[in-house]
Structure 1
Amino acid sequence: MTSLKLGKVERARHRKPENMADTLLGPSLCKVSFNCPFPLHRKLSPAESPTASPSTMASPCTSLSFQLNNPPQPSLIVFSGGTAFNGVVEELKKLTTRVAHVLPVSDDGGSTAEIVRVLGGPAVGDIRSRCLRLADESTSEALAVRRLLGHRLPLEANDAKSEWYSIVEGEHLLWKGVSKPYRETIRSFLAYFQHQILVRSEEKFCFSNGSIGNFFFAGARIFFQSLDAAIFLFSRVSDIPTESLVLPVISTNDRLTLGCELWDGSIIRGQNEISHPTSGLVGPVNKGHPSIPALPSRIKRVFYMSSEGRNSLHEVFPMANPTFLDQLHSVDCIVYAMGSLFTSICPSLVLIGIGEIISSRSCPKILLLNGTRDRETSGFSASCFVMAITDALNRTYGDPTNCLKNIPGQYINTILVPRDGEIPVDLDVLAAWGISNVITVDSVHDPKVGIMFDPRTLIQALAKLLSPVQEYKC
């Protein structure tokens, strides 16, 4: 497995390295943009092999026949956050791997918050979470790498710090099954992350509940000074299919803060404070838990603000990731996934240019309705979800010179609803907006989260919407 994956690392041993990245990845990767046309460790097919004989290479007729019998996979763009949609990613792979996962970079909770506090930069937790879900699991080494990068340190601070040193020094059992080239690559960026927090001695870093994947990601981002480069590296290490894209909605090296304006005129700063304030507690949070206080008023809009800003006067207008915009122009289907409506979905919709592109497309535009309410959507019906998305894409309550006037039906034409979900579906309101295709999908009950889509039947429903004859392997 590793001879093809990281052969450049082995060759780099026999010459004097120019820098750390040159040593780890080879000079060609360090001096080109991170748009590799194939995985570094993808196995060549017989037809691609330099030693393939004419008899093993496909003829044009054979190739055409293969294409007719195997139509190209549909392409999707999915707006989501870091957790809710993760549960259906594995099932979605059976339908298509041509998926652009668009994720916000404004999360300020958990170990991501600690990284941003000490090292600055955009939040990487949601991106790391999706990358791990897309990671290869076909070999024992792939599983070992996924297990390592998915590991979280203990909650108790001293235990967490002790385990971290065991990992970064290469002594932890998590390294079992990880070959030397992989080990050296991953450890180098973990060590670089450790160095970065040490040189900022004025800020003591807390390792409690820290994600090893987040630390690796942060080390790579700081070293390359590029979020895109860090995603590329993580994707190659995790062996994510090249046609599966994990795209930050904003490609930046700067810290971004999410704000929201309530209908009572008050402003809340920070994604965590909007979604599920935890009073500084570290660890997993159930966003629908009764202990999380209700908002004093419904959310009117979300917006980006400067890292030190406290009110709407400090609003900033970052540019959308150009790669994301390119994908939005060409995909076969647009999906607004279930999840935190205002802090996971809307932050990717409020940027200039998004509403313009989506309203111009004639493809399926599908909302996956939540099965339960949370702090952000208390008292919401299905039409409230639709209007929140419409207002975000229209930028209704932002700068009046940049507002659109599109109707909801230009942004959403289909809604998938989990059976027995607690969000009422007001069909008459939706129909008046041009949304009449409302489909009920089987659900499952999670004791911690509540009603959720059954992943298998959800992807079956998507397959039928994309093409009546689209093959879906159950």
Structure 2
Amino acid sequence: MKVVVFTGGTASNSLVNCFEALSRDVVKTPNGPAGNSVTHIIPVSDNGGSTSEILRCFGGIALGDLRNRALRLFQDEPLRQFLHHRFDKDSTVALQEWESLIRGDHHLWAELLQEGTVSQRLKLYPMFRELFLKFAAKVEQLDSKFDFSAASVGNILLKSMEMQSGIDAALEQFLQFGGVPPNFSIVPCVIISEHMAGERRPEEYPLPTLQLQLVLANGDVITGQSEISHPADLSSNNTSQLHFSKSNDAHPQLAAAVQQLRYVLDDSGSISPIWPRADPAALQAIESADYIIYSIGSLITSLMPSLIVPEIACAIAKNIHAKKVLLQNGTYDRESYGLDSVSYTMLVNDTLRQAALSCSEDAIPSANSWVDHVIRLQDSEIQIPSKAEPWYSTVTIPSSGSGSGSHFDPDILLETLRSL
């Protein structure tokens, strides 16, 4: 079975094994059983946390969500923990950690190389150190000081790799480090033009940064994924996104309904529209998928950045054989407050329909070509309206946990997906 999952970097991590198990179901073709694969299509627009510092200094695309999902797929737990490590929040202490890491005497190295079978990790040691040293050399050439506060070791490594070979090659090698089978892949939803990828001269940094921009019905415009979902507290006079709260209770609701989500390019503060192309690997996976799953996570900033890409919307519509399944969140957040189950689904479907209108296709897909099934939780805050007659089927399943802690049980979800 070939499964495509549209997802952010964190919320769907608990469902990775469910999607993997679904992919192992056998699909018979005239040429015998089809191969199995899971492709995670992930946005590259998150500008919060330590990613914000990498973007401030180097520009380009955000790698944090790609790194997060990649590490969830790793088969090597000590290596996963090594690359999950974050430096101290204190900038001075964090810099000392970084210097210790590139010298090779940070405690992380000893912990990585002393656990279990280390032959493969011993081979990685010189490679990782070289990549860290190359990143250090780039940092030394910057006009501004790089803040290593709360920096992710995995983000630094992946960024160093991306600056050398581009994101697709970097991701492929990153997954190989963790022993991830080749039929499980992580793909950015969009690619950037060649002049923004690969090796750059020092004076060319920072490159323009890919950002999200949200237009509300009242005319308000919010630029930046983190500002949309987790805005900084203006009362503190701190607009940095290096340290922010992900608690839903910490942020007010959006001031009005969502009118449009779009991509922009931030070139040293100059904002201009951009229409990035879909990653070819994403389109290839969609075209051959047996299941296309819109997974849980922040509706506007985790799911929709992939769905507003015209080529992706058209590819989904043209795959008439795939089961297209929307998993609805069980609780409201800043981005979905006030939606019922039908309006939630219509927002996803209409976003894809609108994106498809921009495709240079002869035939415009039918109005409801993007969602066939909705799976929701029994105790979900997002309720089904009493007189709803949607075009899609809805399955309500028991949740694991309760209240704000309720979530999808992977085993129940797997059986539900199989039954569609």
Q: Does 1:273 align with 2:227?
A: yes
Deviation at 1:88, TM superposition (A): 1.3
Residue 397 and residue 462 in structure 1: after superposition, are their counterparts in 2 closer, same or farther (change >3 A)?
closer
CA contact under 8 A between 2:357 and 2:364: conserved in structure 1? no
- CA separation of 1:287/1:79 partners in 2, compared to 1, >3 Å: closer, same or farther? farther
Q: List per-residue Cα deviations over 1:69-124 (Å, max 9, x = no partner).
A: xxxxx111111101111111134333336111000111100111110110112100
In the TM superposition, what whole-angstrom CA distance separates every residue of 1:31-69 from its partner, at most 9, and x where no partner exists?
xxxxxxxxxxxxxxxxxxxxxxxxxxxxxxxxxxxxxxx
Could you tell me which residue of structure 1 aligns to residue 10 of structure 2? Answer: 83
Higher relative contact order (CA 8 A, sep 6+): 2
Q: Is contact 1:77–1:331 with CA below 8 Å preserved after alignment?
A: yes
Deviation at 1:283, TM superposition (A): 4.0
On the 8 A contact 1:371/1:421 being kept in 2, the answer is yes
Partner of 1:193: 135
Q: Are residue 286 (structure 1) and residue 241 (structure 2) matched?
A: no
Query: Which secondary structure state, in structure 1, belongs to the residue aligned with residue 4 of structure 2?
Result: strand
Shift of 1:287: 4.2
Would you say the 8 A contact 2:52–2:242 is kept in 1?
A: no
**Cα gap change, 1:184 to 1:427, in 2 (>3 Å):** farther
After TM superposition, list the pairs within 5 Å mapping 1:177-326 onto structure 2: 177-178=112-113, 179-200=121-142, 202-224=143-165, 226-252=166-192, 253=197, 255-278=209-232, 279-280=239-240, 282-283=242-243, 285-289=245-249, 291-308=250-267, 314-326=272-284
Tell which structure's C-alpha radius of gyration is larger.
1
Whether the 8 Å contact between 1:121 and 1:255 is mirrored in structure 2 is yes
3-state DSSP of counterpart to 2:401: strand
Q: CA 1:412–1:82 in 2, change beyond 3 Å: closer, same or farther?
A: same
Cα 1:281/1:318, change in 2 over 3 Å: closer
2-structure distance, mates of 1:343, 1:333:
22
Q: For 2:174, give the aligned amino acid.
A: F
Give me the whole-angstrom Cα distance separating, in 1, the residues matched to 2:89 and 2:418: 41
Q: Who is 1:457 aligned against?
A: 412
Aligned with residue 133 of structure 1, among 54, 59, 72: 72
Q: Distance in 2 between matches of 1:266 and 1:341?
A: 19
**Corresponding residue of 2:205:** none
Q: 2:376 — aligned with what? A: 417
Aligned equivalents of 2:55, 2:303: Cα separation in 1: 21
Code of the residue aligned with 2:218 in structure 1: it is D
Partner of 1:57: none
- Aligned residue for 2:325, secondary structure, equals strand
TM-score of the two chains, using structure 2 as the length reference: 0.84
Asked if the contact 1:193–1:215 (Cα under 8 Å) also holds between the matched residues in 2, the reply is yes
Determine which of 59, 67, 73 is the counterpart of 1:120.
Answer: 59
Tell me whether 89-98 or 102-111 shows the greater mean CA deviation.
89-98
User: What whole-Å deviation, never above 9, does each CA across 1:198-256 have from its counterpart, x for those lacking one?
Assistant: 111x21111111110000000001122x1111111211111111001100011233631
How far apart, in 1, do the equivalents of 2:366 and 2:252 lie? 33
Of the three residues 341, 354, 364, the one matched with 2:323 is 364
Deviates more, 1:208-217 or 1:184-193: 184-193
Query: Is the 1:81–1:103 contact (alpha carbons within 8 Å) kept by the matching residues of 2?
Result: yes
On the 8 A contact 2:53/2:242 being kept in 1, the answer is no
Deviates more, 1:165-174 or 1:90-99: 90-99
In 2 relative to 1, CA 384–229 (structure 1 residues): closer, same or farther, beyond 3 Å? same
Percent identity, aligned pairs only, is 31
Q: Distance in 1 between matches of 2:312 and 2:401?
A: 34
Question: SS of the residue aligned with 2:175?
Answer: helix
Give the partner amino acid of 2:87: L
Aligned Cα root-mean-square deviation (Å) = 2.5
* Equivalent position of 1:173 in the other structure: 107
The Cα shift of 1:353 comes to: 2.1
Q: TM-score, normalised by structure 1?
A: 0.75
Question: SS state of the match for residue 410, structure 1?
Answer: coil
Q: What code does the residue aligned with 1:286 have?
A: K
Alpha-carbon offset, residue 299 of structure 1? 1.2
In 2, Cα distance between the equivalents of 1:396 and 1:235? 31
